[in-house]
């Protein structure tokens, strides 16, 4: 029974009992509540004890969902006693991808039970305590976050922009930098460089979410940063501080800045190009973002910044604008893309016809491909980059069972022949096979894989040449040709290696005589010997 249904039962039982106490008849109660007399009668027969028992059983059942995770929750609370129930819930989802659905209330109840049982009362987190104003010394802290928003171009098209925001915590002095493609580790570093140049120095520490563009792994407090970001931190000499998940209070300032940028600067703005947008952003900061009274401090950020700048650390690095490793790739008919000799799966529907393309960004630090829609730059999928060659790299959910069968058959054929160039005989034939009878492509390619891989590669390649030249796209005909050739040309399935034959025979003694394509055609038409 779902939580919703249980609440519904309890609510209905209360209503019916209340109306019964008012001496209403079953018919009157039914009319008032819009239910049948039988339903009224059934609820009237239920005692309070029975309702409470059902409630108790349901809560016990829901609590049991988390019983298997009790030890994990206890260890988390023992090591970090100030963790909240939402933070515990986040860590459960992080460490247990198969965690069953439970509501926040259920998690809260479980956390409280563990606290009571293990004598682990919640304590305040000293480092999270912040004064209202001033919340830190001048030059001490800044906060960073990211945002995105859809804009309209002059031609009426929808364009998605992504932005980086940094704000000095004491003065509320802000900087923003925008891109028309998602941020990578390299472009995040470059955005920091621009921010520190804009501020004329660096704060002692910068506060972040646990973002994949910056942080590879939390590693239980021993944070592992991306290589690019780690190099920048080491060169610049500031301290990065990472917030705990589900802890918005520690980074509330910058989250308000992101909302401010979306609702003020970007709201209703027409997109011309990214360079123009960044120029407009600097103008907005100077006249509005940093020039208007801050609603929290009741002070003007630009005026406060004059004092804060004196306390910033010097920043003297030169950091070149990165060349983003982003390229357009063709989407194949089978909803895959070919990247460095491997085929990577895409969700069904990515291929929309000839000329379908995606934008592929290589994330060096995470060794993965980020694949984006070319039109709106929305993320389609991610793939780990395979170090191997000639592989099909798939992701669950990208293909139907039929599509998976097709892709598997194509993979078997390509691995068997060892041909991966799109212009090879195999690829050309598969394209023709798909075009000739698209509705039967799945059955034909599956049968073709079974037929050809039952022969040695030389014989199989001969068959493929014949299928291609004679435009044979029917699996039954393919099978007939293979059988006739096996009989008439001595091509045997799974040919025994020459080394295993009698030493008195040479390769010339056992190889079949080559015949012309016209002779093969005669065989198929029954005009042979």
Q: Residue 198: which pLDDT band, with cuts at 50, 70 and 90? A: very high
> Which helix (H) or strand (E) is 158 found in, with range?
strand 158-168
Q: Is 138:170 a contact under the CB 8 Å cutoff?
A: yes
Q: Is 196:232 a contact under the CB 8 Å cutoff?
A: no
Give the pLDDT of residue 466.
85
* pLDDT per position as a tens digit, 208-250: 987 777 887 655 445 678 888 899 999 999 999 887 655 555 6
Residue 377 class from Cβ within 10 Å (0-12 exposed, 13-18 middle, 19+ buried)?
A: buried
Whether a cis peptide bond, with omega within 30° of 0, leads into 134 is yes
User: What share of the chain in percent tops pLDDT 90?
Assistant: 19
Q: Is CATH 1.10.3470 the right assignment for the domain spanning 325-396?
A: no
**From the CB of residue 527, how many other CB atoms can be counted at a distance below 10 Å?**
10
Domain with CATH 3.30.420.10 in the chain: 141-311
d(CA 350, CA 105): 40
DSSP string for 448-480: HHHHHTTS-HHHHHHHHHHHHHHT---HHHHHH
Q: Residue 147: which pLDDT band, with cuts at 50, 70 and 90? A: very high
* pLDDT per position as a tens digit, 248-260: 556 678 889 999 9
Helix, strand, or coil here: 346?
Answer: coil
When pLDDT is averaged across residues 25-45 and rounded to a whole number, the result is: 88
d(CA 464, CA 504): 32
> Does pLDDT of 528 surpass 50?
no
- Highest mean pLDDT: which range of 286-295, 371-380, 502-511: 286-295
> Does pLDDT of 518 surpass 90?
no
Question: Per the structure block, which two tokens stand in for 28?
Answer: 């009157």
Q: In this structure, what DSSP letter does residue 136 have?
A: S
When pLDDT is averaged across residues 88-107 and rounded to a whole number, the result is: 75
Q: How far apart are the first and last CA of the chain?
A: 75
Report domain 141-311's class.
alpha beta
Question: Smallest Cα–Cα separation from 206: which of 221, 192, 186, 225?
Answer: 192
* pLDDT per position as a tens digit, 424-445: 788 888 888 888 877 788 888 8
Residue 442 class from Cβ within 10 Å (0-12 exposed, 13-18 middle, 19+ buried)?
A: middle
Give the pLDDT of residue 429.
87
Question: Cα-flanking dihedrals φ and ψ of residue 242, to 5°?
Answer: -110, 130
Helix, strand, or coil here: 416?
Answer: helix
Average pLDDT along the chain: 79
Give the pLDDT of residue 199.
96
Give the pLDDT of residue 143.
94
d(CA 390, CA 418): 8
Helices 104-118 and 85-95 sit at what angle, rounded to 10 degrees?
A: 100
Give the pLDDT of residue 90.
66
Give the pLDDT of residue 510.
36
Give the pLDDT of residue 492.
47
Give the pLDDT of residue 526.
52
> Does pLDDT of 516 surpass 60?
no
**Which residue would you say has higher pLDDT here, 283 or 218?**
283
The C-alpha R_g of the chain, in whole angstroms, comes to 34
Question: Per the structure block, which two tokens stand in for 240?
Answer: 């990065």
> Does pLDDT of 164 surpass 90?
yes
> Which helix (H) or strand (E) is 153 found in, with range?
strand 141-153
Q: Is 443:433 a contact under the CB 8 Å cutoff?
A: no
**From the CB of residue 181, how many other CB atoms can be counted at a distance below 10 Å?**
17
Output the pTM of the full model. Answer: 0.47
* pLDDT per position as a tens digit, 483-503: 877 776 544 444 444 344 334
Domain with CATH 2.40.50 in the chain: 325-396
Give the pLDDT of residue 126.
44
**β partners of residue 202:** 313
**From the CB of residue 33, how many other CB atoms can be counted at a distance below 10 Å?**
15
From 56-60, 278-282, 329-333, the region with the lowest mean pLDDT:
56-60
**Which residue would you say has higher pLDDT here, 513 or 20?**
20
Those residues whose C-beta lies under 8 Å from the C-beta of residue 49, and which sit 6 or more positions away, are none
Question: Smallest Cα–Cα separation from 313: which of 191, 206, 207, 230?
Answer: 206
Q: Residue 206: which pLDDT band, with cuts at 50, 70 and 90? A: very high
Give the pLDDT of residue 426.
86
Q: Residue 315: which pLDDT band, with cuts at 50, 70 and 90? A: very high
Q: Is 208:242 a contact under the CB 8 Å cutoff?
A: yes
Question: Smallest Cα–Cα separation from 177: which of 199, 209, 157, 159?
Answer: 199
Give the pLDDT of residue 63.
57
Question: Cα-flanking dihedrals φ and ψ of residue 56, to 5°?
Answer: -60, -45
Q: Residue 456: which pLDDT band, with cuts at 50, 70 and 90? A: confident
Give the pLDDT of residue 56.
67
Q: In this structure, what DSSP letter does residue 313 have?
A: B
Give the pLDDT of residue 81.
73
Give the pLDDT of residue 500.
42
Those residues whose C-beta lies under 8 Å from the C-beta of residue 294, and which sit 6 or more positions away, are 172, 300, 301
- Highest mean pLDDT: which range of 67-81, 98-112, 300-314: 300-314
């Amino acid at each position: 029974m779902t939580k919703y249904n249980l609440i519904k039962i309890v609510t209905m039982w209360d209503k019916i009992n209340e109306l019964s106490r008012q001496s209403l008849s079953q018919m009157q109660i039914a009319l008032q509540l819009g239910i049948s007399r039988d339903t009224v009668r059934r609820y009237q027969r239920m005692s309070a004890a029975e309702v409470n028992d059902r409630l108790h059983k349901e809560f016990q059942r829901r609590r049991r969902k988390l019983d298997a995770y009790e030890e994990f929750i206890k260890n988390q609370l023992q090591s970090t006693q100030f963790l909240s129930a939402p933070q515990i819930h986040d860590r459960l989802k992080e460490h247990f991808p198969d965690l069953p659905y439970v509501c926040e209330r259920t998690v809260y109840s479980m956390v409280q039970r563990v606290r009571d049982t293990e004598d682990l009362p919640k304590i305040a987190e000293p480092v999270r305590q912040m004064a209202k104003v001033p919340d830190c010394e001048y030059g001490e802290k800044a906060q960073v976050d990211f945002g995105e928003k859809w804009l309209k171009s002059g031609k009426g098209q929808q364009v998605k922009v992504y932005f980086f925001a940094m704000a000095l915590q004491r003065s509320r002095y802000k900087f923003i930098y925008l891109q028309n493609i998602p941020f990578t580790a390299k472009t995040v570093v470059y955005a920091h460089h621009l921010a520190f140049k804009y501020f004329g120095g660096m704060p002692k520490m910068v506060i972040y979410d646990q973002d994949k563009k910056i942080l590879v792994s939390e590693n239980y407090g021993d944070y592992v940063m991306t290589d690019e970001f780690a190099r920048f931190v080491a060169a610049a000499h500031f301290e990065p501080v990472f917030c705990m998940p589900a802890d918005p209070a520690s980074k509330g300032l910058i989250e308000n800045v992101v909302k401010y940028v979306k609702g003020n600067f970007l709201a209703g703005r027409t997109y011309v190009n990214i360079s123009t947008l960044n120029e407009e952003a600097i103008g907005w900061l100077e006249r509005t973002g940093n020039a208007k009274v801050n609603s929290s401090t009741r002070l003007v950020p630009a005026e406060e910044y004059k004092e804060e700048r004196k306390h910033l650390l010097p920043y003297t690095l030169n950091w070149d604008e990165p060349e983003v490793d982003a390229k357009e790739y063709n989407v194949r008919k089978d909803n895959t893309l070919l990247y460095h000799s491997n085929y990577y799966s895409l969700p069904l529907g990515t291929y929309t016809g000839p000329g379908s393309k995606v934008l592929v960004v290589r994330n060096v630090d995470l060794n993965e491909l980020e694949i984006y829609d070319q039109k709106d730059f929305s993320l389609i999928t991610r793939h780990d980059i395979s170090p191997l060659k000639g592989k099909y790299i798939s992701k669950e959910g990208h293909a139907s069972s039929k599509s998976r069968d097709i892709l598997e058959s194509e993979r078997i054929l390509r691995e068997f022949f060892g041909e991966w160039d799109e212009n090879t005989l195999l690829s050309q034939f598969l394209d023709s096979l798909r075009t000739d009878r698209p509705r039967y492509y799945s059955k034909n390619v599956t049968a073709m894989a079974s037929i050809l891989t039952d022969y040695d590669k030389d014989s199989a390649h001969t068959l493929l040449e014949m299928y291609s030249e004679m435009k044979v796209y029917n699996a039954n005909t393919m099978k007939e040709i293979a059988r006739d050739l096996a009989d008439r040309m001595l091509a045997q399935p799974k040919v025994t290696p020459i080394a295993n034959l009698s030493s008195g025979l040479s390769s010339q003694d056992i190889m079949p005589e080559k015949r012309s394509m016209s002779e093969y055609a005669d065989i198929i038409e029954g005009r042979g010997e």
